[in-house]
Amino acid sequence: MKKEILLFLIILFILPSVLAIEITLSKNNYNARETLQAEITGSFISLDKENVLIYEQGKVHPEASLSGLVKRGDKYFYYATLPERAGNFSLRIENVQYIQSGKLIQEPISKPFTITTSNTSVLSINPGFIITEDEVSVRIMSHNGNMVVTATLDQETETVNLIDSIEEKVKFSVSEINTTQTTLTIGSYRIPVFILKLQEITIIEETAEIGILALDLQGTLEPGEDYTFELVLENIGNKNLSNIVLSSDLEVSIGPLVIETLNIGELVVVNVTLLEVQEGENISGEIIVEYEDKASILPIAFEIGGNNEIIVEVDEPIIDDEPIDNSETSLSCDDMGGDVCLDPLECEEATIASLDGPCCLGECIEKQGFSWWAIGLLILLLLGLFAMFFYKRMKKKQKPKESGEVLNDKTEQFKKRMGWNKGKEVNKQIGRS
């Protein structure tokens, strides 16, 4: 009975954070060359356009098509131009991890639809969703004949005459629209429009917060065996985070120990292995996730039953807003995947405390100080100044004498040659000596 209650509490804790995977198509039956639109919801670890494919009877359709994928809020929006052939098709998501029913799964997800061919005029659009700051622009084309379509955005309407297989553009301004999301209607298509507005008045305070979801906390094992479970960390704040460090007061192996970046809304899987669990040994402790000046703490209690059955109690994660004291740590820099930068190197970003001292999780670079090339440049500058001073001094010595100085020199030479002294009579003859 106790086991069932604990299991119920675990499920109760996990389920609110788990979204079922759901693919919603704009319709289930399409004409050839139409544009498929889909909304996808679910807790994906990551989802890219390359993970969403068009399948035909169990095989990837070989024809290239225009397509796109974007995430806005909790939803993914996808579109693709369909091939020119009839048959049974499916939209398939594969090679991606997601959370469902409290478990981390990597199985394909498929949504079937059909394509038919007819002589009826068909409209295609590109793109199937729009993200813009100032203008909406959509390319539209008619197939199997001419068409007249109406495009409407907010209160503005435009009628477009389409000639078979000739592409036309529809444009609208969004400068007068005050919302951040609206819909452009063209024929039967409803195209989501996301408007990027500058936050001119409201300044949103940045918050850093990480949510923790514990997965697969149940099972049996033999005494002395390791027990591995998974945590999913999600950036539920409104700012990108970096250098997230994980630790625990339990005897566990954690990988990765350091998450370099976790952008807004992103998820990452962390493997935690409880080392050599012993029979009858109850274990309790915490998983600590440190980021910026905060810590998210997940208290976990492991009760080992007589049949080696693990019963796990999981409390709701605690967010600690108090500044973290990193003066003591049980991890080495190597455990964190970093390096200790030795003089004359320094870390290009802030360091984290470790058993080895300040640990650099980035690159060790040369100190930005008074380097040898700067000293050499200073020496060259001093030599240049000295050469300039010496040159000016020598030039001054070689400067030609003025007429007065020359006359005085000649007078002194004449006096010496004539033997003239002040107060004495001169008896020498005037003439050449």
- As to burial, measured by CB atoms within 10 angstroms (0-12 exposed, 13-18 middle, 19+ buried), residue 45 is middle
**Sequential pLDDT tens for the chain (433 residues):** 344 434 333 433 443 444 468 999 999 999 999 999 999 998 898 899 999 999 988 788 776 578 899 998 889 999 999 988 899 999 999 999 888 877 888 899 999 999 998 888 899 999 999 999 889 999 999 999 999 999 999 889 999 999 999 999 999 999 888 888 999 999 999 999 999 875 444 455 678 888 887 765 666 666 677 888 888 888 888 888 888 998 888 888 888 889 888 888 888 888 888 887 776 667 788 888 888 888 888 887 777 666 666 666 565 555 555 545 544 555 677 766 778 887 777 887 767 767 677 788 778 887 665 555 567 777 888 887 877 777 776 666 555 555 556 566 666 665 666 555 544 444 544 444 4
- Which pLDDT value is given to residue 333? 76
Boundaries of every domain in the chain: 20-118, 131-198, 210-324, 388-433
Distance CA 184, CA 20 (A): 28
Contact 182/129 with Cβ under 8 angstroms?
no
- Same CATH topology for 20-118 and 210-324: the answer is yes
- Under CATH, which architecture does the 210-324 domain have? Sandwich (2.60)
The domain covering 20-118 belongs, at the CATH homologous superfamily level, to Macroglobulin (MG2) domain (2.60.40.1930)
- Which pLDDT value is given to residue 139? 94
Residue 79, SS3 per DSSP: strand
Report how far apart, in Å, the C-alpha atoms of 279 and of each of 1, 292, 309, 312, 352 are: 21, 39, 9, 15, 37
Q: pTM for this structure?
A: 0.62
Whether a cis peptide bond, with omega within 30° of 0, leads into 344 is yes
- Among candidate residues 353, 322, 165, 392, the one with its CA nearest the CA of residue 258: 353
Report how far apart, in Å, the C-alpha atoms of 247 and of each of 104, 252, 278, 335, 426 are: 22, 9, 22, 11, 114
